[in-house]
Amino acid sequence: MRYLDINDFSRRDGDTLLIDEAVDLSATEPAFSEVRVVGKLRNVVGVMTLRVTVFGTYVGTCDRCLEEAVIPLQSELKTVVTLSASEDESVYVENGRIDLELTAYDALVLEVPLQILCREDCRGLCPSCGKNLNDGDCECNN
C-alpha cells in the first residue's frame, strides 16, 4: 500500500487506526529495503495525530574498505495531520491520503549516517597496496 486514505477516518471522532505497512522504496531508492511504517493515527475531537516509527535497512558501500555495508535505520514521526497537510511537513498528505512511500523515504534518508561503515572498527584499505586490512595485515612495508 502506498497511500493511507484518511478521508473517512477524519469524521470518526475518538477512533484509532493502527498502522503496520510494508513500503516498497525500490523505485525511489534501491539502497533502502525492508521498509515498514508502524504506529497509529488517532482522531480526538477532530484533531488527527500521527505517531509512527519508520524502520528500514540501507545498503551502501563502506567508506573505508569499499565492501558492502548494511545499516539498520529507524525514524520516529509525531505530527498533527489534516486532509491536506501535516503540521511539520514530515508527512506527505494530499487529497485526504497520506503518501506512505514519500513519508518513509524522507524519514529514512535523514537517518543515513554521513560516514557509511561496514562495521565500527573497519580498518579500511592499505594506502600502498590496497589490501582490505579487515582480512589481515598486508605484506607491504606500511
For residue 36, the one-letter residue type is: R
Closest C-alpha among 49, 51, 35, 50 to residue 108: 35
Is the pLDDT at 11 greater than 80? The verdict is yes
Q: Return the closest-CA partner of residue 55 out of 30, 25, 87, 98.
A: 25
Per-residue pLDDT reduced to its tens digit, 74-132:
999 999 998 888 888 888 988 899 999 999 999 999 999 999 999 999 999 999 999 99
pLDDT at res. 142: 57
Task: Please report the pLDDT score of residue 16 as a whole number.
Answer: 94
CA angle 6, 12, 18 (to 5 degrees): 60
